[in-house]
Amino acid sequence: MNEPEPADVASPERVAELTAGLTAARERLAAAARDAGRDVADIELLVVTKFHPASDVRALVDLGCRAFGESREPEAGRKAAAVRESVAESVRFDMIGTVQRRKATSVARWADRVHSLDREAVADALARGVATAREEGDRDGPLDVLVQINLDGDSNRGGVVLDELDALADHVAGLDGLRLRGSMVIAPQSHTPAHWMEQAATAHARLVASHPEAVEFSAGMSGDLEDAVRHGSTCVRVGTAILGERPLRSP
Ligand SMILES: *Cc1c(COP(=O)(O)O)cnc(C)c1O
């Protein structure tokens, strides 16, 4: 017997779940913006669909979402291609997970933006990947990148430590094919999210002072988006609060 094909279309029950999750997340974001005295239109809701099937992404496109976050090659590239082939709307896919150097070219083929750049060698590989993808007709423009900042020095978490932020930003800004657009942070578990978001905002301000074009500040997830919005986030990356718990295995 062959394995059954994965369902191509989300069930009505799943669509109802996604609708409820999305509505609740949008309301949370609107309330967070209001509390922070900010315009919600200035804060992007990036829907993190990693590990969830393309059918969920398509259902979310039907619900009005246009920007998605994915974290792992080759699952991410396959899903982006499957969605783009099957919906009429133009959708964006951002890479939010650590980029491995040997997968940089495949990421450069599908990603509209990379949030998680943390090493010069990966920046170089992505720049080469962009050149290759352009030559082969797989992409038009340069790749927007955010540098991921490591707030607590724990190297398991990814991100560039504060001491090396300026050097990495300068390096990225000097590469053809990449456009430095801002920074990304993941709040560590120790301390409160408010503590880390304040630190992140300070580091981000330092980046903007030396690179005025790098205004994007990707901060906040399901658990801490309110603190991130209060500290100036321009993009919250929300998975679980919209899609529920992630399946253990990629579809
Ligand atoms: C998975 C992931 C998210 C989404 O996290 P949730 O807690 O599910 O909202 C956000 N950012 C990054 C970098 C991630 O890897």
The stretch 206-228 carries a mean pLDDT of 98
Write down the mean pLDDT value for the chain: 95
Pocket mutation for ligand 1, best pick of 237, 246, 248 (most atoms within 8 Å of C-beta): 237
Residue 142 pLDDT: 97
**Is 158 touching ligand 1 by the criterion CB < 6 Å?**
no
Distance (Å) from CA 202 to ligand 1 centroid: 22
- Ligand 1 atom showing the smallest separation from residue 223 Cα: 7
Count of structural domains, the chain:
1
Distance (Å) from CA 96 to ligand 1 centroid: 8
Q: Is residue 3 part of a domain?
A: no
| In the chain, % of residues over pLDDT 70 | 96
Distance (Å) from CA 53 to ligand 1 centroid: 16
Distance (Å) from CA 239 to ligand 1 centroid: 6
pTM for the model stands at 0.95
Residue 249 pLDDT: 63
Residue 6 pLDDT: 52
CATH number at residue 68: 3.20.20.10
Distance (Å) from CA 186 to ligand 1 centroid: 8
Q: Is residue 102 part of a domain?
A: yes
Residue 247 pLDDT: 82
Residue 250 pLDDT: 55
Q: Is residue 31 part of a domain?
A: yes
Q: Is residue 140 part of a domain?
A: yes
52 pLDDT above the threshold of 60 = yes
Rg (CA), the chain: 18
Which tens digit of pLDDT belongs to each residue from 161-183? Answer: 999 999 999 999 999 999 999 99
- In the structure encoding, which two tokens stand for residue 89, read together? 């709307």
114 pLDDT above the threshold of 80 = yes
Q: Is residue 33 part of a domain?
A: yes
Residue 103 pLDDT: 96
Q: What is the 3-state secondary structure (H, E, C) of the chain?
A: CCCCCCCCCCCHHHHHHHHHHHHHHHHHHHHHHHHCCCCHHHCEEEEECCCCCHHHHHHHHHCCCCEEEECCCCHHHHHHHHHHHHCCCCCEEEECCCCCHHHHHHHHHHCCEEEEECCHHHHHHHHHHHHHHHHCCCCCCCEEEEEEEECCCCHHHCCEEHHHHHHHHHHHHCCCCEEEEEEEECCCCCCCHHHHHHHHHHHHHHHHHHCCCCCEEECCCCCCHHHHHHCCCCEEEECHHHHCCCCCCCC
**Is 182 touching ligand 1 by the criterion CB < 6 Å?**
no
Residue 134 is part of which domain span?
12-243
Q: Is residue 2 part of a domain?
A: no
Residue 224 pLDDT: 97
Candidate from 64-73, 80-89, 149-158, 232-241 with smallest mean pLDDT = 149-158
Q: Is residue 250 part of a domain?
A: no
Q: Is residue 110 part of a domain?
A: yes
Which tens digit of pLDDT belongs to each residue from 125-158? Answer: 999 999 999 999 999 999 999 999 999 988 777 9
196 pLDDT above the threshold of 50 = yes
Residue 27 pLDDT: 98
| In the chain, % of residues over pLDDT 90 | 92
Residue 4 pLDDT: 47
